[in-house]
Amino acid sequence: MMTAESTIAAPAVVQSGTHGMPRHHVYIFGGLCALVLAAPFFLYPIFVMKILCFALFASAFNLLLGYGGLLSFGHAAYFGMASYVSAHAAKVWGLTPELAILSGTAIAALLGLAIGALAIRRQGIYFAMVTLAFAQMVYFFSVQAPFTGGEDGIQAVPRGNLFGLFSLADPLTLYFVVAAIFLFGVLLIYRIIHSPFGQVLKAIRENEARAISLGYKVNRYKLGVFVLSATLAGLAGATKAIVFQLASLTDVYWTMSGEVVLMTLLGGMGTVFGPMVGAGIIVTMQNYLATAGDWVTIIQGAIFVVAVLLFREGVVGVLSKWLRKPL
């Protein structure tokens, strides 16, 4: 999709991480773990869990945009559909939470495979429009399908017992489960980015024609990263359904797709930690402006405009340039 003058890209210093994690990344991940473990004792756990779910969602999205160079405008489809299936599995099928989350994630993977296989046939802005249109199709399906509960959504989803043993009704237990899922997700994304697969992806992003000439099956890589991104977005959505005990149309609507783009853009696309920072900022803002109604939309729109015009590298991108280290 990107031509030679690829501008949606990571900071210029791209470091091959084949020899293990660079030291400053180890420190940052260590700090992140400490922060995540300490947070519920200082902040309202549900609020932190919301940030963790969206941070994972944005990181999954960034895998596709920042490293694959593919702008999907329909990631709400995987997030929302996984959330529905997870909620349905826990409530109607009576599955334990880990199985409910897994079934939601699996559906997101299948949906990603189906939509991705079609979408990668077009490039650039067409790719964005195709993914948006398919996500809208998933939305219309969710409005009509009986199991989603239409306008009401699926409410009062039981949190159940993890592995049938540990009750997730206790907020702290639930919190540490969500924190574990989050850390697993972001470390997996980190591993993917720095694997040989991730390196080829970056090559395709920078110069697709050259990658083809080097003999890479570009479309397989694109589809691969699309499915991975959709699956991890699904993991975030499925977890969110258990945390909030709710799956609703909001999660599958195009505004959600826009929000995850905004989080990634604001935090810094193509950076490892940017999407998490962006998610933190946006969720916190929504939390404080919860009563302000449509002002949230207006402010989000304004952030979009300012970020695109003046702040394309995002918070972490700027920081990374300043420290001269890839973050």
Partner 1 sequence: MFELLGIPPQALFGQLLLGLINGSFYAVLSLGLAVIFGMLNIINFAHGAQYMLGAFVAWMLLNYLGIGYWWALIIAPVLVGIIGIVMERLFIRRLYHLDHLYGLLLTFGLALIITGVFKQNYGVSGLPYQPPPLLAGGRNLGFMYLPYSRGWVILASAVVCFGTWFLIEKTRLGAYLRAATENPTLVGAFGINVPLLITLTYGFGVALAGFAGVLAAPIYSVNPVMGENLIIIVFAVVVIGGMGSILGSIVTGFGLGLIEGLTRVFYPEGSAVVIFVIMAIVLLVKPAGLFGRTA
How much of the chain is in helix, strand and coil states, percent to nearest 5? 70, 0, 25
DSSP calls for 291-308:
GGTTHHHHHHHHHHHHHH
Tell me, what amino acid is at 88? H
Q: Which stretch binds partner 1 (CB under 8 A): 11-19, 97-105, 152-160, 258-266?
A: 258-266
Which of residues 15, 35, 93, 121 is near partner 1 by CB under 8 A?
A: 121
CB of 303 to partner 1, least distance (A): 7
Site for partner 1 in 70-89 (CB under 8 A): 71, 73
CB of 324 to partner 1, least distance (A): 23
| 147 near partner 1 (CB under 8 A) | no
CB of 14 to partner 1, least distance (A): 18
Span between the terminal Cα atoms of the chain, in Å: 24
Assess contact for 274 and 264: CB atoms under 8 A: yes
Report the b/e string of 11-35 with b at 16+ CB within 10 A.
beeeeebeeeeeeebeebbeebeee
Which of residues 30, 124, 150, 164 is near partner 1 by CB under 8 A?
A: 124
Quick one: 215 or 293, whose CB is closer to partner 1? 293
Assess contact for 83 and 104: CB atoms under 8 A: yes
Q: Which stretch binds partner 1 (CB under 8 A): 12-20, 26-34, 133-141, 313-321?
A: 133-141
**At 167, which helix (H) or strand (E)?**
strand 166-167
Q: Which stretch binds partner 1 (CB under 8 A): 99-107, 154-162, 283-291, 303-311?
A: 303-311
| 58 near partner 1 (CB under 8 A) | no
Cα angle 286-290-293, degrees, rounded to a multiple of 5: 105
Identify any residues that bridge with 167 across adjacent strands, giving them in sequence order.
161
CB of 112 to partner 1, least distance (A): 15
Count how many residues are written for the chain.
327
Which of residues 291, 293, 322, 324 is near partner 1 by CB under 8 A?
A: 293
Site for partner 1 in 259-278 (CB under 8 A): 261, 265
* Structure tokens belonging to residue 110: 């299948």
Assess contact for 67 and 193: CB atoms under 8 A: yes
| 129 near partner 1 (CB under 8 A) | yes
| 311 near partner 1 (CB under 8 A) | no
Residue ranges binding partner 1 (CB under 8 A): 2, 5-8, 71, 73, 118-119, 121-122, 124-126, 128-130, 132-134, 136-137, 140-141, 143-144, 254, 258, 261, 265, 293-298, 300-305, 307-309, 312
